[in-house]
């Protein structure tokens, strides 16, 4: 009896199998992951900005697609549209490029060919936002400067790919003259011609650094053009031994001024220095330049910076009048006679009024070493061959 029942069951299964074979096998509905394809894949990390963002229905049609980008705690929907045939969703043109440093969430519903609904949720994250570098330049846009101006760019991050950054910067001059770059460390790039600028020269700086790789994961963001104009030529020579400063404009002596320079204990640097900043009045505190509490004067008049280490040419109202032209008593600065509050007609006030950022002041006979080329805009103290050798593209 049991054998007969078993044979009957097998016969039924065989008949059912034959029927199924003749009419086609039953197909199970697709899973959401099979029906709905999302690119980038679910859980992807470090996705690049240029990667495609796409949602596709492998069969049937998309019903609804919502893509949300979250960055720094704020969420924003990514605009996009489903194709007329319902098979594909793509982002709008302005949203094609993925935003770095973001997490994307994709929520999709779709209908298969049988009208059955499926929903899928995926997420992916893009690469971290790269660090950005910018260059702070001097002189300023449209500024009129002296013939000794050195164009200096300071970067906010260390540059390791100096060749790429240097290629992204162009300095040109009219009348034309060769202008060469020189790197001072990883964050500073200066430009100058072999000799001082010709008066009337127009200099243009093109910063084409947007997207330029300055170091691993560090990219430039600037695309900027600036220019400055070279004014009249003024060159002042300070003789520390004779305590005088001779001022020439366009080669002609216009004044000879008594000065006081650095003492024997704190002599003034020798060599060519360039006026890089001008202050009607400023504070000078000995502690900020490596001295003790020897002085702290909060109203120094007519001050012009010559080095980053603290050398100024400035008005001096506290030294006796007889000091100027006779003694060197400063901590390394060059002092000109002035009055408290600043007298515009004093030797210091007159020189201040007639000076430009970029004017050269040369110091001789102080007994001190030559100022370093990177101490302020002192690159004129470097031979041209050494200067040009400081280019990353040499």
Predicted pLDDT of residue 285: 85
Q: List the catalytic residue out of 182, 243, 302, 314.
A: 314
pLDDT tens-place string over residues 37-92: 999 999 999 999 889 999 999 999 999 999 999 976 678 999 999 999 999 999 99
Q: Give the domain extent around 336.
A: 234-379
Predicted pLDDT of residue 286: 79
Measured between alpha carbons, how far is 272 from 382 in angstroms, rounded to an integer? 10
Is 17 within a domain? no
Last residue of a domain, one of 231, 264, 288: 231
Quick one: 227 and 240 in the same domain?
Answer: no
Q: Which has the higher per-residue pLDDT, 149 or 75?
A: 149
Measured between alpha carbons, how far is 309 from 377 in angstroms, rounded to an integer? 12
Is 385 within a domain? no
For all residues of the chain together, what is the average pLDDT? 91
Active site residue 227: no
CATH of the domain at 105: 2.60.40.3780
> Which of these, 294, 279, 283, lies nearest to 348 by C-alpha position?
279
Predicted pLDDT of residue 305: 97
Predicted pLDDT of residue 47: 94
pLDDT tens-place string over residues 207-228: 999 989 999 989 998 999 999 9
CA distances in angstroms from 5 to 1, 9, 13, 15, 17, listed in the order given: 6, 6, 13, 15, 18
CATH of the domain at 361: 2.40.440.10
State the DSSP code for 372.
P
Active site residue 314: yes
pLDDT tens-place string over residues 162-216: 999 999 999 999 999 999 999 999 999 999 999 999 999 999 999 999 989 999 9
Is 384 within a domain? no
Is 394 within a domain? no
Q: Does residue 15 register a pLDDT over 80?
A: no
pLDDT tens-place string over residues 352-375: 999 999 999 999 999 999 999 999
Quick one: 117 and 146 in the same domain?
Answer: no
Predicted pLDDT of residue 334: 98
Q: What percent of the chain is modeled with pLDDT above 90?
A: 79
Predicted pLDDT of residue 344: 96
Q: Does residue 249 register a pLDDT over 50?
A: yes
Q: Does residue 141 register a pLDDT over 60?
A: yes
Quick one: 200 and 270 in the same domain?
Answer: no
Is 365 within a domain? yes
Quick one: 241 and 372 in the same domain?
Answer: yes
Last residue of a domain, one of 110, 125, 140: 125
Going by pLDDT thresholds of 50, 70 and 90, the confidence category of residue 137 is very high
Detail the DSSP E strand segments found in 168-276.
169-174, 179-183, 188-193, 202-208, 213-215, 218-220, 223-230, 234-239, 244-249, 252-260, 271-274
Quick one: 197 and 212 in the same domain?
Answer: yes
Quick one: 181 and 196 in the same domain?
Answer: yes
Is 276 within a domain? yes
Is 257 within a domain? yes
Is 224 within a domain? yes
Q: Does residue 4 register a pLDDT over 60?
A: no
Quick one: 242 and 373 in the same domain?
Answer: yes
Mean pLDDT along residues 11-33: 50
Quick one: 174 and 276 in the same domain?
Answer: no
Mean pLDDT along residues 129-155: 94
Measured between alpha carbons, how far is 125 from 86 in angstroms, rounded to an integer? 26
Number of domains in the chain: 3
Quick one: 174 and 204 in the same domain?
Answer: yes
Going by pLDDT thresholds of 50, 70 and 90, the confidence category of residue 130 is confident
Last residue of a domain, one of 182, 214, 231: 231
For residues 114 and 163, the answer to whether their CB atoms sit within 8 Å is no
Q: Which has the higher per-residue pLDDT, 13 or 309?
A: 309
Q: Does residue 10 register a pLDDT over 70?
A: no
Q: What percent of the chain is modeled with pLDDT above 70?
A: 92
**DSSP-derived pairing of the beta strands 296-305 and 312-316:** antiparallel
Mean pLDDT lowest among 253-262, 277-286, 371-380: 277-286
Quick one: 262 and 340 in the same domain?
Answer: yes
Mean pLDDT along residues 109-128: 91
Quick one: 47 and 178 in the same domain?
Answer: no
Predicted pLDDT of residue 3: 45
Peptide bond just before 40 cis, omega within 30 deg? yes
Quick one: 273 and 227 in the same domain?
Answer: no
């Amino acid at each position: 009896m049991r054998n007969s029942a078993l044979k009957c069951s097998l016969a039924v299964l065989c008949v059912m199998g034959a029927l199924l074979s003749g009419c086609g096998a039953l197909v199970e509905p697709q899973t959401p992951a099979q029906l709905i394809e999302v690119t980038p894949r679910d859980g992807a990390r470090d996705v690049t900005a240029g990667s495609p963002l796409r949602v596709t229905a492998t069969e049937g049609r998309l019903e609804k697609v919502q893509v949300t980008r979250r960055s720094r705690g704020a969420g924003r929907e990514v605009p996009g549209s489903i194709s007329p045939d319902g098979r594909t969703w793509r982002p709008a043109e302005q949203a094609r490029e993925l935003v770095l440093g973001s997490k994307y969430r994709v929520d999709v519903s779709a209908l298969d060919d049988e009208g059955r609904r499926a929903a899928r949720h995926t997420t992916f994250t893009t690469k971290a936002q790269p660090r950005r570098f910018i260059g702070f330049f001097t002189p300023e846009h449209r500024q009129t400067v002296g013939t000794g101006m050195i164009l200096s760019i300071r970067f906010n991050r260390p540059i390791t790919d100096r060749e790429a950054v240097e290629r992204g910067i162009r300095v040109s001059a009219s009348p034309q003259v060769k202008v060469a770059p020189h790197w001072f460390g990883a964050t500073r790039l200066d430009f100058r011609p072999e000799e001082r600028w010709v008066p009337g020269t127009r200099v243009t700086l093109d910063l084409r650094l947007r997207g330029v790789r300055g170091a691993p994961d560090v990219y430039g963001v600037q695309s900027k053009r600036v220019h400055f104009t070279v004014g009249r030529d003024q060159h002042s020579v300070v003789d520390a031994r004779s305590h005088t400063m001779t001022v020439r404009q366009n080669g002609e002596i216009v004044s000879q001024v008594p000065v006081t320079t650095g003492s024997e204990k704190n002599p003034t640097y020798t060599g060519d220095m360039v006026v890089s900043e001008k202050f009607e009045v400023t504070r000078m505190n000995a502690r900020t330049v490596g001295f003790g509490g020897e002085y702290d004067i909060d109203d120094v008049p007519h001050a012009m910076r010559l080095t980053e280490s603290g050398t100024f040419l400035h008005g001096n109202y506290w030294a006796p009048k007889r000091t100027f032209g006779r003694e060197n008593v400063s901590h390394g600065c060059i002092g000109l006679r002035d009055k408290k509050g600043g007298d515009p007609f004093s030797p210091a006030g007159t020189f201040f009024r007639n000076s430009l950022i970029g004017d050269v002041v040369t110091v001789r006979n102080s007994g001190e070493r030559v100022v370093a080329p990177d101490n302020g805009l002192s690159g004129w103290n470097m031979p041209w061959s050494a200067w040009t050798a400081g280019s990353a593209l040499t």
